[in-house]
Amino acid sequence: MNPDINASLVVMGVAGCGKSSLGAALAERLGFELIEGDDHHSPGNRDKMRQGTPLTDADRDGWLTTLAGLLAQHQGGAVLTCSALRRAYRERLRAAAPGLRFVFLDITPEQALARVAARSAHFFSTSLVDSQFATLEQPVGEPGVLRVDATRPLDALIPDVVLWAQATQTLKA
């Protein structure tokens, strides 16, 4: 547990933005447990995504319930990687973890598609990138959200996020 940061962070954005890389690096730096959102999709959801079928709100319901429960178990802080594309999804996660903050990895559709296409061992189909952008409700302007450029080097993002997280401790309810 990090004495300077005592609330969880969600690293969010569309597929290919770098959630897993930044989330793992932040969890290590902060001494928090990493909750990899993709690990908690149902087999049915994974099959749909592998086949290029976008998930619906109903498909995501159980997944979000699981992630909210995991956040609730880590009141001292955790790092969750989760697309959190809609505001309603973010509100569900916020309800589970007082003081929850979001790091939004902003990326263009072209950049995301190139990154997803370059991954060899992931279940997410490149055909779903457009649907991710169509579903995305940008979180900019919501409380407790930091927007970062997903194309910046990881080594440059980490200190910026850590400083922001330390400075926003007053959000903890």
Q: Looking at residue 40, which CATH number applies to its domain?
A: 3.40.50.300
Residue 40 inside a domain? The answer is: yes
Residue 18 inside a domain? The answer is: yes
Picking from 96, 74, 75, 92, the residue whose alpha carbon sits closest to that of residue 83 is 92
Least confident of 14-18, 30-34, 77-81, 169-173: 169-173
pLDDT at position 171 is: 47
Mean pLDDT of 97-119: 89
pLDDT at position 27 is: 96
pLDDT over threshold 60, residue 3: no
pLDDT over threshold 90, residue 122: no
Residue 129 inside a domain? The answer is: yes
Q: For residue 155, give both structure tokens.
A: 């080594």
pLDDT over threshold 50, residue 97: yes
pLDDT at position 1 is: 47
78 torsion bin: left (phi>0), alpha (psi -120 to 50), beta (else): beta
Under the banding of pLDDT at 50, 70 and 90, the label for residue 124 is low
Number of structural domains the chain divides into: 1
What is d(CA 118, CA 111) in angstroms, rounded to the nearest whole number?
A: 11
Residue 117 inside a domain? The answer is: yes
Residue 105 inside a domain? The answer is: yes
Residue 95 inside a domain? The answer is: yes
Half-sphere exposure of 76 (CA within 13 A, CB side): 8
Mean pLDDT over each residue of the chain, to the nearest integer = 88
Mean pLDDT of 138-155: 95
Residue 171 inside a domain? The answer is: no
pLDDT at position 85 is: 94
Least confident of 76-80, 89-93, 120-124, 166-170: 120-124
Least confident of 34-43, 86-95, 124-133: 124-133
Per the CB < 8 A criterion, the answer to whether 126 and 14 are in contact is no
Picking from 148, 152, 146, the residue whose alpha carbon sits closest to that of residue 165 is 146
pLDDT at position 120 is: 62
For the chain, what percent of residues have pLDDT higher than 90? 62
Residue 109 inside a domain? The answer is: yes
Secondary structure class of 167 (helix, strand, coil): helix
| Residue span of the structural domain in which 97 resides | 9-164
pLDDT at position 50 is: 78
